Amino acid sequence: MENLQKIINITQIRKADEHTISKKEITSFALMGQASLAFVKAIEPLLNRSLKIAIVSGAGNNGGDGFAITRILRSKKYTVQPFLVQFKNTLSPDCDINFQKLDDTISIKSTSEVHDFSEYDVIIDAIFGFGLSRPITGFIKHVVESINKAKKTVYAVDVPSGLYCDKLPDSDTVVQADLVVSFQRPKLSFFFPENGNHVKNWKTVAIGLDEDFIQQQESNYFILNDRIADTLMPRPRQSHKGSYGHALLIVGSYGKMGAAVLSSKACLRSGVGLLTSYVPKCGYQIMQSSIPEAMCLTDENEEFVTQLPEISKYDVLAIGPGLDVNEKTTLVVKKLVSENNTPLVIDADAINIIAQNEELKSLLPKNSILTPHIKEFDRLVGKSDTSTERFQKQLEFSVKYQCVVVLKNAYTVISSPEGNLYFNTSGNQGMATAGSGDVLTGVITGLLAQNYAPLHAALLGVYFHGKAGDEAACKKGYNALIASDIIDALRIEKS
């Protein structure tokens, strides 16, 4: 999707800084000032003037941001104490200019001078920026440990100190930030599940970098955010149900008809014109009474699906939610995969069946959409020791089998046959609940039926599924949120 923002690496960030300074004819010091002001605007709604704030700055440009932030906050009458973690004898030129404008900075040059930060209410971390490439050691390690030990609210400038931008840290010495305010773009490492304690929340702020230049950089990583809403197709007043496709969901088994209900309801909420749900006989009354808008076909078997219905009249086919894994259902999945040439949406037990039958992978119709959670994906491709290893396997799987993979997690990641990764930014921890994935399958299926391209349908489905979860959490909270709340909050339209 051309309108989605790219995530860029360390080298490209530096190039973007240099390009902006040259093109806009501003100084690096002025750019630092813009960044610092943007940071303050981002955190100020979270502050009040009764708070004691410690700003812990390093000797590089991230530290320069910290000293500039100190002056801005003081001009707004906040109580701020600046600290300098002096890990080298000379400060970077722009850092030194901002440092010299303050006369009460407390310097930390050794372990014996490490401060107890628990006397402050808020700690702003500006020790190291995006360029860090080795573990934090020596007395600086004790500074980071003191910040974390204080158990106070921590805001990080651009990157939590100790966190790498593009790879997992090789040390536990990383600032644990409640909020990271990242300049212009989030860093790739924010999306790694292992970094959840270091990046509890993040937001980006524009600091004036040249967006066109950033978008011209080569990157296979993209941010899935509200910009995807701009790609929604209009729904003309003169259209009818035949304009929005007919989807077939092959779902459900005895004891798991809830998954069939959830995926079917979600499919209808996504805007599909017609929906037929194919279920075992035990699900007939459940479906007809729960979802009067859907048509229902039943298998001859009472408890699980054993036959593939006539599929030629449907625009889109999906299979998996609540399906069950058994010999006869496995034959249904094999028949569907081998005899159907149009993209499929494949979830849950259908994925597990494919994982158990290696030959089915090569039979997947091109541009099919698979929606596994972590364990299902590991069954499909083998276990991974780290999220970065898993992301690589995900990319390789999508390219090899020319399919879209929606890897469900705290930050759901979508991979494309072209070898791109899209990191979703909507959603919350309340969505870690039974049935949430069934809802997503229904949403994506409905969008695919409305003639969105498979990747496009997956991106829209993931983003709006997460956004619905956010809306639901506002009303129900995280703990009480259930999958039906996500369906009730679903609104697939431009805001």
Determine the residue type at 337.
Answer: V
Token reading at 391: 């992301």
Is 134 assigned to a binding site? Answer: yes
Query: 383: which residues sit within 8 A by CB, 6+ positions away?
Result: none
Q: Which residues of the chain have pLDDT under 50?
A: none
Is 410 assigned to a binding site? Answer: yes
Is 466 assigned to a binding site? Answer: no
Token reading at 365: 């119709």
5-219 CATH fold: Rossmann fold (3.40.50)
**φ, ψ (nearest 5 deg) of residue 10:** -60, -50
Where do you find CATH 3.40.1190.20 in the chain? 228-489
Residue 185 gets the label, from left (phi > 0), alpha (psi -120 to 50) or beta, of beta
Contact 229, 298 (CB under 8 A): no
Contact 138, 168 (CB under 8 A): no
Given this model, what pLDDT does residue 70 score? 98
Bridge partners of residue 101, in order along the sequence: none
Q: What Rg value do the Cα atoms of the chain yield, rounded?
A: 26
DSSP 19: H
Percentage helix, strand, coil for the chain under 3-state DSSP, each rounded to 5: 45, 15, 40
Q: How far is CA 416 from CA 342, 359, 384, in A?
A: 17, 21, 20
**φ, ψ (nearest 5 deg) of residue 487:** -60, -45
Is 158 assigned to a binding site? Answer: yes
Given this model, what pLDDT does residue 482 score? 98
Is 412 assigned to a binding site? Answer: yes
Is 161 assigned to a binding site? Answer: yes
Given this model, what pLDDT does residue 495 score? 78
Distance CA 402, CA 417 (A): 5
Query: 151: which residues sit within 8 A by CB, 6+ positions away?
Result: 118
CA atoms within 13 A on the CB side of 31: 22
- Start-to-end Cα distance in the chain: 19
Determine the residue type at 24.
Answer: K
Answer positive or negative: Cα dihedral of 353, 355, 359, 362.
positive
Is 130 assigned to a binding site? Answer: yes
Closest by CA to 415, choosing from 220, 138, 174, 190, is 220
Distance CA 377, CA 354 (A): 11
Q: What is the pLDDT of residues 196-221, one digit of tens each?
A: 999 999 999 999 999 999 999 999 99
Is 138 assigned to a binding site? Answer: no
Closest by CA to 204, choosing from 20, 30, 7, 9, is 7
Is 438 assigned to a binding site? Answer: yes
Given this model, what pLDDT does residue 292 score? 97
Is 320 assigned to a binding site? Answer: no
Q: Is the pTM of this model over 0.75?
A: yes
Is 62 assigned to a binding site? Answer: yes
Q: What is the pLDDT of residues 6-42, one digit of tens each?
A: 999 999 999 999 999 999 999 999 999 999 999 999 9
Where do you find CATH 3.40.50.10260 in the chain? 5-219
Distance CA 362, CA 334 (A): 11
Is 408 assigned to a binding site? Answer: yes
Is 210 assigned to a binding site? Answer: no
Token reading at 366: 């091109």
Contact 367, 403 (CB under 8 A): yes
Distance CA 5, CA 3 (A): 6
Answer whether CATH 3.40.50.1980 is correct for domain 228-489: no
Is 132 assigned to a binding site? Answer: yes
Is 322 assigned to a binding site? Answer: yes
